Amino acid sequence: MKKNPLKRVMKLILNFFSRQFLLRISLYLRPILRILYKGSKFVDPIDGSSYRTFLPYGYNRPRKNALCPGTLSLERHRLLWLYLKKKTKLLEKNISVLHVAPEIIFIKKFKKITNWNYVTIDLKSPLADIKANVYNLPFKENYFDLILCNHVLEHIEDDYKALNELYRVIKNKGTLIAQVPLDKNLKTTFENKEIKNRRDRNKYFGQYDHLRVYGLDFYNRLSNSGFKPKKVDILKKISIEEKIKYCLPNDEEIPVGIAIK
């Protein structure tokens, strides 16, 4: 089978450079990549831009057509946008929104939503408004209507503590969207605190900075922290043509928790 050199390059970049460094240089690379890969075959539904191909992405086995060159959105980002746009009224409501570890594709987009009071936080990211630890958020109780915390919990030592803190700052009936890498073949989340070095974490957790692989009990974790969990399967409502055009994941649910206080 013919190997794809671009996949090898992408794998090396992701595993060698820090996330903070990649975030910084991406600000300069995106306009160039948008021009280089301009075309009409694939579309990013978040901003409507189109490309002749998307880029591979992944720390171990790079996925084909995963990363949009001009926006740097991944499959999960495009899926989340379609959920927000097509299946909720959240984009239209006057609400306070907390975005934990904000993704570059969403920051500018969400800041333009004039009816949102939009705040971003991260401990290290140069893109965030506030530098803060998710264990100790600098906000009063019952403050936010919506919290976006996507692909964060698998990176932190005590995800229960983080979920409890998110519950503290969210309003009653507020919405938490918490996408995580979730293996539907696992009933119980796999984690082992003895697995500490980069190579072993890559091997067992799928990425050098992941601390666990979530199983179906992730929804129990949401419930134990005070959220009423639900599995959103928007892919069932999307045509095959759209899945191909937008380069969406084959099988992924969006975990959502509604705060019950």
Q: What is the mean pLDDT, run by run of 10 residues, along the chain of 261 residues?
A: 54 57 66 88 96 89 90 95 96 98 93 97 90 96 98 96 98 98 95 92 91 97 97 93 95 96 95
d(CA 127, CA 151): 16
d(CA 167, CA 162): 9
Q: What DSSP designation does 62 have?
A: P
Tokens of 62: 């790079």
Q: What is the CA radius of gyration of the chain?
A: 18
Note the Cα 220 to chain centre separation in Å: 20
Amino acid code (one letter) for 137: L
Give the pLDDT of residue 1: 39
d(CA 159, CA 214): 11
In sequence order, the β-bridge partners of residue 255 are: 231
**Alpha helix (H) ranges present in the chain?**
5-16, 19-36, 75-87, 104-111, 159-169, 198-205, 218-224, 240-246
Q: What DSSP designation does 17 have?
A: S
Q: Tell which CATH classification among 3.30.70.100, 3.30.390.50, 3.20.20.150, 3.40.50.150 matches the domain 76-259.
A: 3.40.50.150
Q: What does pTM read for this prediction? A: 0.89
Per the listing, tokens 């936080």 go with 121
Give the pLDDT of residue 16: 55
Give the pLDDT of residue 23: 61
Asked if 215 and 205 touch (Cβ cutoff 8 Å), the reply is no
Q: Where are the domains of the chain?
A: 5-73, 76-259
